[in-house]
Amino acid sequence: MTDIAILASLATDLTGGRTSGLRYLDDRGTRAIVLDVTGLAEGDRKPLEEKLRAGLLTRPGVTSVRVAMTAERKAMTIIAVGSGKGGVGKSTLAANLAVALRRAGVKVGLVDADIYGPSQPRLMDSEGVKPEARGSKLSPVQSAYGVPMLSTGQIAAPGQAIAWRGPMAGRALEQLIDASWGDIDTLVVDLPPGTGDVQLTMIQKHKPTGAVVVSTPQDLALMDAARAVSLFEQAEVPIIGVVENMAGYACPHCGEVSDPFGSGGAEAAAKDMELDFLGRVPLSMGIRLASDGGVPPAAGTDPLGEPFHAIAAKVAAWLAARKGI
């Protein structure tokens, strides 16, 4: 076996078959090799590079090792969570969907694309934690619930108005999505309400794999939800389904259920539009208090999290069917 074949074999053993292109750069002992880090988390790449370099330097005649790391650009699965209007619980649904998918084994991250009204830092208990930059890319903030996330709310000062024109908001969205996500392969993107610049930028440059539309049962909310559905359909973004939020309020004293915003409206609208109905989330003081406290109900074992897990299961099944799993 030649010297270079011995080194190549050693490199294969050190990295589990992730090396190629070993060559001599000069006659003074400098060697170059390519290390494929596709699928490795950011924190695992440098240790593997150092292990490879140290192992090769043990061989006679090797004085220097130059390692070129490369990775295939993987296609990210993007789940857009949208609504026709604000105040329907879209951000709460997005946060709990991400947490529930994570608990189901999905390698998921969360992007708060509600540029002008970011709320995910509060919902995910990551206020005051700023993302770091790795070269030209942002490094997501690790939340307490195993879901890395990015939001303009982590960049702007607390309470500061984010008064950006459309192009600047579009660039901010690109930075959030094109971040250094490591081994994350699925992003839940909490879109702003309505059908504006950010949604158009998202569709044009980072076309979602599918969209979840959130509405209350109220007629006015359903009218706007239909517009959100129309935007996705015009852009040929598949609709995963519709979620009815604030569906029924159970009195904490007597247990009687009332319907301040109506009942069944989103489910009926989904049927009319020939869309899947993913489920309903009740109007609950417990969900409100947990969300304000930065504890997504889907993160625990409380019954409050059950609607979110049921919705996440349907979303995961839709994604699996689309991938042919």
Q: From the CB of residue 325, how many other CB atoms can be counted at a distance below 10 Å?
A: 8
Among the listed ranges 6-15, 48-57, 254-263, 271-280, which one has the minimum average pLDDT value?
Answer: 254-263
User: Which pLDDT tens digit goes with each residue over 32-70?
Assistant: 999 988 767 778 889 999 999 999 999 998 999 999 887
Do 298 and 99 form a contact (C-beta atoms < 8 A)? yes
Average pLDDT over residues 289-306: 93
Q: Where in the chain is the domain with CATH 3.40.50.300?
A: 77-323
Residue 36, strand partner residues: 70
Structurally, at CATH architecture level, domain 77-323 sits in 3-Layer(aba) Sandwich (3.40)
User: Which pLDDT tens digit goes with each residue over 183-240?
Assistant: 899 999 999 887 677 778 778 778 899 999 999 888 778 888 888 899 899 889 999 9
What is the pLDDT at residue 205?
Answer: 79
What distance in Å separates the CA atoms of residue 49 and residue 37, rounded to the nearest whole number?
9
What is the pLDDT at residue 319?
Answer: 93
In the chain, what percentage of residues exceed pLDDT 70?
Answer: 93
The full DSSP string for 51-79 is HHHHHHTTSTT--EEEEEEE---PPPEEE
Axis-axis angle for helices 197-205, 219-234 (nearest 10) = 30
Read off the pTM.
Answer: 0.75
User: Which pLDDT tens digit goes with each residue over 12-26?
Assistant: 999 988 898 898 888
What is the pLDDT at residue 136?
Answer: 74
Q: Is the pLDDT of residue 85 over 80?
A: no
Q: For strands 137-139 and 132-134, give the pairing.
A: antiparallel
Average pLDDT over residues 84-111: 93
Q: Where in the chain is the domain with CATH 3.30.70.2210?
A: 3-70
What is the pLDDT at residue 264?
Answer: 82
Taking Cα atoms as reference points, which of 102, 201, 191 lies closest to residue 143? 102
What is the pLDDT at residue 48?
Answer: 93
> What is the residue-averaged pLDDT of the chain?
86
In the chain, what percentage of residues exceed pLDDT 90?
Answer: 43
Among the listed ranges 56-65, 156-165, 217-226, 286-295, which one has the minimum average pLDDT value?
Answer: 156-165
Residue of higher predicted confidence among 250 and 113: 113
What is the pLDDT at residue 111?
Answer: 95
CATH assignment, 3-70:
3.30.70.2210
